[in-house]
Amino acid sequence: MANSQIRKALSGFYYVYDEGTVIQTRGRGVFRNRGINPLVGDFVEYVVEGDNDGTLTKVLPRKNELVRPPIANVDQALLVFSVKEPNFNTILLDRFLVVLESFRIQPVICLTKIDLLNEEEHEKITEYRKQYEEIGYKIVETYIDDPDLLMKIQPLLMGKTTVLAGQSGVGKSTLLNTLMPELDLKTGVISNALGRGKHTTRHVELIEVAGGLVADTPGFSSFEFDTIEKEELTGCFPEIQRASENCKFRGCLHVKEPKCEVKNLVEQHVIQAYRYKDYLQFLQEIIDRKPRY
């Protein structure tokens, strides 16, 4: 029973996958009283009632949970970012990376529309790619109508539960359609006026693809830092986290403190200035956040 997992939630029913069989279940009333909300991705225990019906009796501890899309136990996020139309945006990418790091979700950065770049733009993107890879992030590049797209993405999915995230209008639905043609998701039309994509949200379902599970809906299109405290932000920038071990003061926030190794490495161009600038901006956002009661 330990591997029984909710693969789909729809209209109050939870569809539990258990060794090749799908059981339609409902949650116990006691869940509501305790504020337990079963999510797609949850590992659960249940009792069978009838041929293909059951009742959830327990939701096992989660390693993480997301609100949008509502899903638990995610291993990795495929972050889809275009390099042009819309242009590559490091501050938005860093925002996504920080939140994923805070949830302990492994990011894989997928750069799309590489074929739209001229030579100078291509050199700039190659430099960015090198910098993010040096931090430790995995990156794949794709083209419009890339014939090798499946070959590039499928090996990354093996044995993992993956969600898609990224800018609007960059081809998340197209990517999902390529991975799972049976979905036939409506691909968004980029609105020229807004420079943003339009998409329709659906219920969340985990579908088996390439030996792993993929959420069949593009995830979040923006991220807030609601759950991150200022002391935790350093840990969401891997290169800042590594450098901070050599700061003079424990709990250094790398702003005005003396003998700060992070500021030292920024000055030496070992830590990228734009990453440090994003760190400072996000830190200020967290400090300015209104308390929730």
Please write the tens of the pLDDT for every residue from 123-146: 999 999 999 999 999 999 988 777
Is pLDDT at 255 greater than 70 in this prediction? yes
Residue 281, pLDDT score: 97
Reported as a pLDDT band with limits 50, 70 and 90, residue 2 is low
H or E segment and range at residue 134: helix 119-135
Q: How far is CA 93 from the centre of its chain?
A: 11
The one-letter amino acid code at 187 reads T
Q: Mean of the pLDDT values across residues 158-175?
A: 81
Q: What residue has token string 């794949």? A: 140
| 22-39 confidence digits (pLDDT tens) | 999 988 776 777 878 899
The whole-chain average pLDDT of the chain stands at 86
User: pLDDT tens digits for 50-96?
Assistant: 777 899 999 999 999 888 788 999 999 999 898 988 889 999 999 99
User: Which residues, 6 or more positions from 172, have their beta carbon under 8 angstroms from its beta carbon?
Assistant: 80, 164, 165, 166, 199, 218
Check if the beta carbon of residue 93 is closer than 8 Å to that of residue 35. Answer: no
Give the mean pLDDT of 258-268. 96
Would the pTM count as exceeding 0.75?
yes
**List of domains in the chain:** 5-61 (2.40.50.140), 71-218 (3.40.50.300), 230-288 (1.10.40.50)
- What local confidence, expressed as pLDDT, does residue 191 receive? 35
Residues in the chain: 293
| Alpha carbon distance 59, 70 (integer Å) | 15
Do 58 and 44 meet the contact criterion of CB atoms below 8 Å apart? yes
